[in-house]
Amino acid sequence: MRRDCLLCLVVVLLCIVGVAAVYSVDPLREEGLVAQSPFGRQLLWNFVGWGVFALFRFVDFQWFLKRSWIWYLISVLALGGVLLFGESDETGAKRWLFSRSVQPSELSKFALLLFLSWYLSVNRDTLGLWNLLIKSAFLVAVPAFLIFLEPDLGTALVFGVLWFGALLVGGWRAKQLGILSGILLGLLFPSWFFLRDYQRKRILAFFDPWQDPLGSGYNVVQSQIAIGAGGVFGQGWLSGKQAQLRFLPARHTDFIFASWCEQLGFIGGVILILLFGILFWIILDTAIRTRELEKKFFASLFGLMLLFQVSVNIGMNLGIAPVTGIPLPFVSYGGSSLFVYLACAGVVARIAWEAEEGEKQRWT
Amino acid sequence: MWSEELEERIRRRIVLLFWLGIALFCILFGRLWYLSILRAEWFQERSERNRVRVVFLQALRGNIYDRNGFCFAKDTPRFRLILLAGSEKEGILQRIEGVLGRKVTFSLRERGAGEMVLLEDLSLEDVVKIEENREALPGVLIETYPLRSYELGEVFAPIIGYVGRISAEELKTLGKMGYRTEDRVGKSGVEASYEGILRGGEGYRRVEVDALGRVVRVLDFRSASFTRSVQLTIDAELQKASYEALGKRNGVVIVGNPQNGEILAFVSKPSFDPNLFSRGITVQEWSRLIQGTSNPLLIRPVQALYPPGSLFKILIALAAQEEGVVAPREVFFCPGYLDYGGRRYLCWKREGHGRVSFEDAIAHSCNVAFYTMGLRLGPEKIARYAKMFGFGEDPHFDLLGTRTGLLPTPEWKRETLREIWYPGDTMNLSIGQGYLLVTPLEMYLLLCAVANRGKVYDPHVLLRVLDAGGHILQETKPYLRRTITLRPQTWDTIIRGMEKVVTRGTGFNCRGLPVRLAAKTGTAQNPQGREHSWFGCFFPSDNPRFVLLVLVEHGGDGSGEAAQVARRIIEWILRERGV
């Protein structure tokens, strides 16, 4: 099967899981298909998102890549705008623009992916030099810091991981990476003092959620209960007690994996993890196959971002990663995240298609 | 520098990233396995605990019957309105008033699992109105609950007792036995004494709640049940007749069978309505009960202490006969007083009884004769005989809250009053006055001992325990507490004397009844007012089946009011029960 079609299929399946999972915890489900309900919106975003997917699948990637400075600047400006004019959500964090319709921090992920792959490939001759490290670190740090101020530690962390990943796949020597990791780890301890109270509590709760099961450990505990209570086959579609009786917090966003597993059990969870695994494999396979450096970078960095988000999100659902507001790609309720991932998937599909076309030409 | 080597390194890095990803996916898989397969049961139980709340429903209490099947106390179903946890309150209250069509005062009592009791003791009409408007009243539930109701409560309250909501202190001790804050518990009388038998099985309602504690649905339900009833030895009609025989007077009536210890009537007046307690007594009602000096909550037959007066002379006479301090055919002379130790001790009859034989001394209750006998016996012997007959000792009655009287001895006086015992004390004791205090039950037991010639059975009110279907589970067997062995002629003489009380002596008010009656009157001096009037008897005296004790508070002379009351009761027994 052609790689781009396989990728398309896996992403479609993931989106279906997402829509179904959002439907299952939709508070307005009884009232049928309503545009305001999470389910209706997720469906709508999927339609729009697949348009975005098609756009990136059929329009030449280079056009976007060459203008990545512009995307980068726009995203930094938008993030600055969030801090100035943004709207807060329930947790009190300012993350939104335009009456809570756009989350610039999500969109800036895409901009950063484009920008990093363009920047590294343009500077391919100086790859592996400390000079480039400083420059790229600065360029990543600006949006990451703006996001950190929102505060949205999770997304800021994604940026950091992307930057480190860029250095990793950018071919930095192991020794250099080792020194860098040492410095970063050294910085980890003082950074504790810059965290907000709720962020610290979450990290503490991660180490022992059962200490305070009704307070800071509540969501970790409830999510594990949901998954565990699901058992092998789950409690059945639309009948997960934890999610339906609303013991599980953030059921359609951060903890959607838990409500999915509660309904469909171990089997459902494994299917979801497998889908992500296959997607990850296709993306990295594409990264290896393509011969152009910027596409290699884009695909592998996207793979890394996907891996990071999936493992942190599912990890926190399973109680083995701290609770950070990182959504589950394609599945969690939310338009911005879905658009970004579908756009990226569109790009990777195009890269895969181009690589296959290239291979065919070489063989014939 | 861009090079082939760098390109190869980039490829290797991507492969590294790939394996890193696989490793992470494996960790997620492993953890998922652990949670949803290895620990599934544990988490399922946690999930249950999250969502399921249990509301316990009050246990039903068993019925209390008299010996002929009359039902003293039973649980009757009542309806109450409760608001389930997490429901919105203010609007609902208004809507309930709208549905009922009138203003109501809600009790708004919180109870377990976040539920709230809105209204209690709903009328059937209201129940219908609310059921018809179910849709408009979400979160409102009609629950049946048992209300203890007492037939002829005032008459039987001293023996049956009453129930009330468990108090905080009681909960501390009874909590281990499964009692809960809302439970009813017997507070006095049979209700308290046989609490363990009467308490039935509690029911429950399991509900599913959401994260906010709102009830989503009722999962299952078990209604409360009652397991055992008790049947008492009390004869309800006799008790009622006895209660009425007292008329307006306060006092005590005990009727029982000396041959097995069964108590047939147990009247204490004034009394109270136990129904007040079962539906929750109001402050006004409570203050009305405890105001004044008559104290209706006092169970007089076993909790109130009186001087026995001349009734105690029975014991002195027994002791004197048995100890031989009275010569056969001895004649006492009563000039109306006895001088002893420089003081003059009066007989109740100022002009004196003149020459009286031993039996006449009993019949006329001559103080002088008993002063003489008491002095001859001495306080130690009197105390020994009194103990032999159970004075100052636990009467082994099966009702809780039984007190014992005060039997004064020289030793007692030395220890508590730090005074020596004077012969005057002995003389006072000989006529049942002075320091001596008894409960009516103790006097009743003395009469039983004489009636049964020394065989004393434990007094009891429990006849049998019945199961839910009315089958007998357990029957009380008469327990022979003590056998007092005296010479037969002692018994004969005393009983003859007591018969003469009726035929020739102070018991003239009971003369002419168609049964051989042995009796003794008593007049208990009372510093607070008019004397208490005692009358004790048993009949038929050759084979006594009834022992009757009457005490009329402030009834004056024992030969007067108490004897009249006794006569009415004896006549009732002869007419309705036969001998």
pLDDT digits (tens, 9 = 90+) for B437-461: 999 999 999 999 999 999 999 999 9
The average pLDDT across A289-315 equals 92
CB B497 within 8 A of CB B362: yes
Residue A214 confidence class, pLDDT cut points 50, 70, 90: low
Lowest mean pLDDT among A160-169, A272-281, B250-259: A160-169
CB B535 within 8 A of CB B549: yes
CB spacing of B11 vs A288 below 8 angstroms: yes
pLDDT reading at B569 higher than 90: yes
Lowest mean pLDDT among A7-11, A39-43, A299-303: A39-43
B213 touches chain A (CB under 8 A): no
Residue of chain B with shortest Cα separation from A171: B10
Q: What is the pLDDT of residue A186?
A: 83
Angle between the N-to-C axes of helices A104-122 and A293-317, in degrees from 0 to 180, rounded to the nearest 10:
140
What is the b/e burial string over A194-229, where b = at least 16 CB atoms within 10 angstroms of the residue's CB? Answer: eeeebbebbbebbeebeeeeeebbbbbbbbbbbbbb
CA distance A246 to chain B (A): 5
Of residues B262 and A31, the one with the higher pLDDT is: B262
List of chain B residues whose C-beta atoms are within 8 Å of the C-beta of residue A277: 21-22, 25
% of chain A with per-residue pLDDT over 70: 94
CB spacing of B47 vs A229 below 8 angstroms: yes
Q: DSSP class of residue B296?
A: T
The average pLDDT across B316-322 equals 93
Nearest-angstrom CA–CA distance, B156 and A57 = 94
pLDDT reading at B207 higher than 70: yes
Which phi and psi angles does B85 have, rounded to 5°? -55, 140
CB spacing of A318 vs B35 below 8 angstroms: yes
Instruction: Give whole-number Cα distances, B228 to B75, B235, B463, in Å.
Output: 13, 20, 13
Q: What is the pLDDT of residue B392?
A: 86
HSE of A349, CA atoms in CB hemisphere, 13 A: 24
Segment of B123-137, B214-228, B336-350 carrying the highest mean pLDDT? B336-350
Residue B113 confidence class, pLDDT cut points 50, 70, 90: low
Cis geometry, peptide bond prior to residue B270 (ω within 30 degrees of 0): yes
CB spacing of A307 vs B37 below 8 angstroms: no
Q: What is the pLDDT of residue B146?
A: 86
Lowest mean pLDDT among A267-281, B254-268, B322-336: B322-336
- For the complex shown, is ipTM > 0.90? yes
List CB contacts of B521: < 8 A, sequence separation 6 or more: B310, B311, B365, B501, B505, B506, B507, B533, B534, B535, B557, B558, B559, B562, B563
Nearest-angstrom CA–CA distance, B134 and B130 = 6
Supply the CATH classification number for the domain B236-576.
3.40.710.10
List of chain B residues whose C-beta atoms are within 8 Å of the C-beta of residue A168: 13, 16-17
The average pLDDT across A297-315 equals 94
Long-range contacts of the stretch B71-75 (C-beta < 8 A, 24+): B71/B151, B72/B150, B72/B151, B72/B152, B72/B156, B72/B160, B72/B232, B72/B234, B72/B236, B73/B148, B73/B149, B73/B150, B73/B151, B73/B160, B73/B191, B73/B274, B74/B148, B74/B149, B75/B146, B75/B147, B75/B148, B75/B149, B75/B226
Are β-strands B140-150 and B71-83 bridged in parallel, bridged antiparallel, or unpaired?
antiparallel
CB spacing of A280 vs B25 below 8 angstroms: yes
B38 touches chain A (CB under 8 A): no
pLDDT reading at A8 higher than 70: yes
pLDDT digits (tens, 9 = 90+) for B143-165: 888 889 998 888 999 999 999 88
Q: What is the pLDDT of residue B415?
A: 92
Q: Among B37, B42, B209, whose Cβ lies nearest the Cβ of A232? A: B37
pLDDT reading at A196 higher than 80: no
Q: What is the pLDDT of residue A91?
A: 63
CA distance B217 to chain A (A): 11
List of chain A residues whose C-beta atoms are within 8 Å of the C-beta of residue B210: 245-247
CB spacing of B51 vs A270 below 8 angstroms: no
Q: What is the phi-psi region of residue B362: left when phi exceeds 0, alpha when psi lies from -120 to 50, beta otherwise?
A: alpha
Residue B213 confidence class, pLDDT cut points 50, 70, 90: low
Q: What is the mean pLDDT of chain A?
A: 86
Check the CA dihedral B388-B390-B392-B393 and report its sign.
Answer: positive
CB spacing of B43 vs A225 below 8 angstroms: yes
Q: What is the pLDDT of residue A92?
A: 64
Q: What is the pLDDT of residue A279?
A: 96
Give residue A50's domain range: 3-363
Tokens standing for residue B58: 């009050």
N-to-C CA span, chain A: 19
pLDDT reading at B87 higher than 80: no
List of chain B residues whose C-beta atoms are within 8 Å of the C-beta of residue A166: none
Cis geometry, peptide bond prior to residue A151 (ω within 30 degrees of 0): yes
Other Cβ atoms less than 10 A from the Cβ of A328: the count is 28
Burial of B375 (C-beta count, 10 Å sphere; 0-12/13-18/19+):
middle
List of chain A residues whose C-beta atoms are within 8 Å of the C-beta of residue B44: 228-229, 231
Of residues A176 and A255, the one with the higher pLDDT is: A255
CB spacing of B21 vs A242 below 8 angstroms: no
Name the nearest CA neighbour of B425 among B413, B416, B437. Answer: B413
Q: What is the pLDDT of residue B80?
A: 86
Count of domains for chain A: 1
Domain B54-232 - what CATH class?
alpha beta
Every domain of chain B with CATH number 3.90.1310.10 lies at 54-232
Instruction: Give whole-number Cα distances, B448 to B193, B254, B495, in Å.
Output: 23, 11, 12
Q: What is the pLDDT of residue B232?
A: 94
Residue of chain B with shortest Cα separation from A287: B14
H-state helical runs in B268-366:
275-278, 283-290, 300-303, 313-323, 358-364
CB spacing of B36 vs A228 below 8 angstroms: yes
Sequence letter at residue B576: E
Residue B77 confidence class, pLDDT cut points 50, 70, 90: confident
Nearest-angstrom CA–CA distance, B412 and B421 = 9
Q: What is the pLDDT of residue A276?
A: 96
CB spacing of B50 vs A232 below 8 angstroms: no
CA A199, chain centre distance (Å): 19
CA distance A84 to chain B (A): 36
Q: What is the pLDDT of residue B112?
A: 66
CB spacing of A171 vs B42 below 8 angstroms: no
List CB contacts of B13: < 8 A, sequence separation 6 or more: A168, A169, A171, A300
Instruction: Give whole-number Cα distances, B566 to A252, A254, B246, B509, in Å.
Output: 85, 87, 9, 9
The average pLDDT across A121-134 equals 78
pLDDT reading at B369 higher than 90: yes
List CB contacts of B517: < 8 A, sequence separation 6 or more: B499, B502, B507, B510, B537, B538, B539, B540, B541, B570
CA A318, chain centre distance (Å): 17
Tokens standing for residue B129: 């109105």
B51 touches chain A (CB under 8 A): yes
Angle between the N-to-C axes of helices B563-576 and B236-245, in degrees from 0 to 180, rounded to the nearest 10:
150
pLDDT digits (tens, 9 = 90+) for B33-62: 999 999 888 888 888 887 887 777 878 889
CB spacing of A246 vs B10 below 8 angstroms: no
List of chain B residues whose C-beta atoms are within 8 Å of the C-beta of residue A304: 17
pLDDT digits (tens, 9 = 90+) for A151-175: 888 888 899 999 888 888 887 777 8
| C-alpha torsion angle, residues B189, B194, B195, B201 (rounded to 10) | -140
Burial of B330 (C-beta count, 10 Å sphere; 0-12/13-18/19+):
middle
Q: What is the pLDDT of residue A211?
A: 67
Number of A to B CB contacts under 8 A, please give it: 138
List of chain A residues whose C-beta atoms are within 8 Å of the C-beta of residue B208: 241, 245
Residue of chain A with shortest Cα separation from B35: A228
pLDDT digits (tens, 9 = 90+) for B168-205: 888 888 777 778 877 888 888 999 999 888 888 888 88
- SS3 category, B482: strand
Q: What is the pLDDT of residue B1?
A: 52
Residue A193 confidence class, pLDDT cut points 50, 70, 90: confident
Every domain of chain B with CATH number 3.40.710.10 lies at 236-576
Lowest mean pLDDT among A241-250, A305-314, B192-201, B542-551: A241-250
pLDDT reading at A86 higher than 80: no
CB spacing of A261 vs B17 below 8 angstroms: no
Sequence letter at residue B481: R
Lowest mean pLDDT among A134-143, B220-229, B368-377, B427-436: B220-229
